[in-house]
Amino acid sequence: MELNGLGIDVQVNIVGFAVDDVMLKETFREWARLGNGRYFDAGGIDELKASLVATLEPRFEILDKGGERVAVGTVDGPPVEVEPGDYAVRLLHGSPPEERSITLGAGEEGVVEL
């Protein structure tokens, strides 16, 4: 995406509500993937509510020493694996974005609170 190339974090999440067409679901999944987002397949009202909440979860990025993005994750989401090293973790929501540093050794796990 051109906006991502300009350093603007863009995420396209798609919520399909009661979509029965398999090909259409696959198209939505691909669009979401291309938009650095996720596709949510909501068959009923409870799934729709949960999907809409999930689309609003804040994301973070992990930057290496040179400032290059090495990973992206969701706050309170699944763990993100990176190689041992020094990193900056930046919350992508908010202005200015919050950022913390972390150093990870081999086999270490880390938690960053923003």
Q: Please check whether residue 111 lies inside any domain of the structure.
A: no
Whether 20 and 33 map to the same domain: the answer is: yes
Q: Which pLDDT does position 2 carry in this prediction?
A: 67
Q: What tens digit of pLDDT does each residue of 90-109 get?
A: 987 766 778 889 999 988 88
Domain count, the chain: 2
Tell me which of 37, 55, 73 is where a domain ends.
55
Q: Which domain holds residue 98?
A: 59-104
SS (H, E, C) the chain: CHHHHCCCCCCCCEEEECCCCHHHHHHHHHHHHHCCCCEEEECCHHHHHHHHHHHCCCEEEEECCCCCEEEEEECCCCCCCCCCEEEEEEECCCCCCCEEEEEECCCCCCCCCC
Q: What tens digit of pLDDT does each residue of 39-49 get?
A: 999 999 999 99
Q: Please check whether residue 43 lies inside any domain of the structure.
A: yes
Q: Please check whether residue 10 lies inside any domain of the structure.
A: yes
Whether 41 and 74 map to the same domain: the answer is: no
Q: Please check whether residue 114 lies inside any domain of the structure.
A: no
